[in-house]
Amino acid sequence: MDCIFCKIINQEIPAKIHYQDEHLVIIEDIAPKAPIHRLIVPKRHIATLNDLTPTEHELIGYMYTTAANMAKSLNVADDGYRLITNCNQNGGQTVFHIHMHFMAGRAFHWPPG
């Protein structure tokens, strides 16, 4: 499958991996937009949020609790951070394997551009 995140998960192309387990991998974003910019990527290939089914309910919850735990361990939980999942063209999605951006280390604008 021609999916860059599947290739990273299968170790066909390199990435800086911060954490992984049977469900997900956390990688450094190749073009960081914040002092801390990581991607929480499920190991299962799901193209967009539109493709989620009830099978993924637990997985999505796990992504959020993993993000919150990571925030605590990076000492950014109190200052705050931002979690983003883009969907399709208007959302700005460029990699069609769902992922959550974990961004921290500066203040973010609202609404986003």
Known catalytic residues are: 99
Structural tokens at position 38:
């990581």
At position 39, the amino acid (one-letter code) is: L
x/- mask, ligand 5GP, residues 57-86, rule CB under 6 A, reads: -----------------------------x
What is the rounded CA–CA span in Å between residue 100 and residue 105? 17
Whose tokens are 């956390």? That residue is 26
Using CB under 5 A as the binding rule, whether residue 43 contacts Zn ion is answered as no
The rounded distance, in Å, linking the Cα atoms of 77 and 22 is 25
The entry of ligand 5GP, Zn ion, none that residue 94 binds, CB within 5 to 8 Å by partner kind: ligand 5GP
- Residues of this chain that interact with ligand 5GP (CB under 6 A) are 4, 15, 27-31, 39, 86, 92-95
